[in-house]
């Protein structure tokens, strides 16, 4: 694609940070992971951070560290990346899919509360596309029903709810640093929490179940190889040093799209501001209006690609994925908002180094393509 959907932002400072690690004998479990964890914890105002090799690994460790097990229910949206539900199923727990709000596409608190049963143990709340979820309502529901709260903030580093960074607001939160994220470590993720016991358990589990006081081959419980390398962490630390500049640039890109696409009756644009909160722009996702269908959306994405413009379809609902066709492995509530919106979403090219001229081109081609789609 001439204008890709996403692309990593790597500069000379990032390259130098990585090469410095390569000049040392410590490529794993060394000072860089400690530096990255410390910097991340400070940035989001968490007591603890535990770096791991992916956001998915982080979600899995949170599920396990909170004692969620076979038959327990975890409430989460179906409108999100499949890793959230997979992490629940890794422990043989039951994902319970509830609907989202039509404006932010985040969990609808009323639907969450209606889905609670005696088997419910946790709420896995996703900050969709970097838009902070209604944490006040979610935390209140969790407290009244004795539930744990895990924040899937994999798309939302730097987002704020009521002036507080998302991630450590619940029992634990997870960030991801895949190359399409706001900052990247290549592959990687991190758990943040205010709870020292959760942090210690996650550190133990990420390294084959070996505690900090255990001998080299002493493994006190079943664990995993979810470690992240010193190279990844060096890149992450370098990125964190300029994260505010990155977030400001991404917000400017979102506003540029908003300005160019406003007033088009065929489009519903994402929420651009949230009073009292801060959006961390992961992607810029537009929705087609009600006169269009999934067939129109797919045709538009294909036409954009024919012009060398990469677009994405965020998200295919998890409950409609082949891996979730066995209804005994999950529980559904009514999901009309999820299904309607999922058929009409289009993610536009969105990355730190996109040029204004490219935003102009994407917007112009999109508007022309939508006009043509009306005649399908």
SS3 149: strand
Q: Which of 64, 90, 89, 38 is closest to 319 using CA atoms?
A: 89
Point out which residues pair with 193 in neighbouring strands: 48
Q: Look at the block and give the residue holding tokens 């009756």.
A: 265
Segments making up each domain of the chain, as ranges? 12-98+105-240, 243-373
Segment 275-294 shows an average pLDDT of 96
Residue 216 has pLDDT above 90, yes or no: no
Q: What angle do CA 232, 238, 239 make, to 5 degrees?
A: 90
SS3 308: coil
SS3 150: strand
Segment 29-42 shows an average pLDDT of 97
Q: Which of 227, 237, 226 is closest to 21 using CA atoms?
A: 237
Percent of the chain with pLDDT over 70: 99
Q: What is the pLDDT of residues 66-94, one digit of tens each?
A: 999 999 999 999 999 999 999 999 999 99
Percent of the chain with pLDDT over 90: 95
Q: What is the pLDDT of residues 356-371, one digit of tens each?
A: 999 999 999 999 999 9
Q: Is the dihedral of CA 175, 178, 179, 180 positive or negative?
A: negative
Instruction: Count Cβ atoms below 10 Å from residue 300 Cβ, excluding itself.
Output: 23
Pairwise CA distance, residues 200 & 197, whole Å? 5
Specify the CATH number of the domain 243-373.
3.90.1150.10
- Between the alpha carbon of residue 93 and those of residues 63, 64, 83, 145, 153, the distances in Å are 9, 10, 14, 18, 21
Segment 33-39 shows an average pLDDT of 98
pLDDT reported for residue 214: 64
Q: What is the pLDDT of residues 218-264, one digit of tens each?
A: 788 899 999 999 999 999 999 999 999 999 999 999 999 999 999 99
Residue 375 has pLDDT above 90, yes or no: no
Q: Which helix (H) or strand (E) is 34 found in, with range?
A: helix 31-44
pLDDT reported for residue 177: 98
Q: What is the pLDDT of residues 141-167, one digit of tens each?
A: 999 999 999 999 999 999 999 999 999
Pairwise CA distance, residues 187 & 4, whole Å? 19
Q: What is the pLDDT of residues 311-353, one digit of tens each?
A: 999 999 999 999 999 988 999 999 999 999 999 999 999 999 9
Pairwise CA distance, residues 142 & 149, whole Å? 7
Pairwise CA distance, residues 210 & 221, whole Å? 7
Q: Tokens representing 234?
A: 């060096």
Which positions are annotated as active-site residues? 181
61 close to 88: Cβ distance less than 8 angstroms? no
Q: How is domain 12-98+105-240 classified at the CATH fold level?
A: 3.40.640
Q: Residue 338, exposed/middle/buried by CB under 10 A (0-12, 13-18, 19+)?
A: buried
Is the preceding peptide bond at 353 cis, omega within 30 degrees of 0?
Answer: no
pLDDT reported for residue 27: 96
């Amino acid at each position: 694609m001439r204008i890709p959907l996403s692309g990593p932002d790597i500069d000379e400072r990032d390259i130098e940070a990585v090469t410095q690690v390569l000049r040392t004998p410590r490529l794993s479990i060394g000072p860089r992971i400690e530096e990255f964890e410390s910097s991340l914890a400070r940035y989001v105002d968490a007591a603890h951070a535990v770096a791991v090799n992916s956001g998915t690994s982080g979600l899995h460790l949170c599920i396990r560290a909170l004692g969620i097990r076979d038959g327990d229910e975890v409430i989460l949206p179906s409108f999100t990346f499949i890793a959230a539900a997979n992490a629940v199923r890794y422990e043989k727990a039951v994902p319970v899919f509830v609907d989202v709000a039509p404006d932010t596409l985040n969990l609808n608190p009323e639907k969450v509360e209606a889905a609670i049963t005696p088997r419910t143990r946790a709420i896995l709340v996703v900050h969709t596309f970097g838009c902070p979820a209604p944490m006040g309502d979610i935390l209140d529901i969790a407290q009244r029903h004795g539930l744990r709260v895990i924040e899937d903030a994999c798309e939302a580093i730097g987002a704020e709810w009521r002036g507080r960074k998302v991630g450590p607001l619940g029992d634990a939160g997870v960030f991801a640093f895949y190359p399409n994220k706001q900052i990247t470590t290549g592959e990687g993720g991190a758990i943040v929490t205010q709870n020292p016991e959760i942090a210690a358990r996650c550190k133990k589990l990420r390294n084959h179940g070996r505690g900090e006081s255990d001998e080299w081959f002493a493994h006190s419980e079943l664990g995993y190889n979810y470690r992240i390398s010193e190279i990844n962490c060096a890149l992450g630390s370098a990125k964190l040093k300029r994260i505010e500049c990155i977030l400001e640039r991404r917000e400017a890109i979102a506003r540029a799209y908003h300005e160019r696409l406003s007033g088009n009756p065929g489009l519903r644009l994402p929420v651009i501001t949230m009073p009292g909160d801060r959006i961390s722009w992961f992607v810029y996702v537009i929705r087609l209006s009600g006169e269009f269908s999934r067939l129109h959306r797919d045709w538009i994405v294909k036409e954009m690609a024919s012009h060398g413009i990469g677009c994405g379809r965020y998200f295919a609902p998890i409950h409609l994925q082949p891996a979730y066709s066995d209804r005994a492995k999950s529980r559904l509530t009514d999901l009309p908002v999820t299904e309607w919106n999922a058929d009409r979403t289009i993610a536009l090219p969105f990355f730190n180094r996109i040029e204004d001229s490219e935003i102009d081109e994407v917007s112009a081609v999109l508007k022309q393509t939508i006009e043509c789609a009306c005649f399908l």
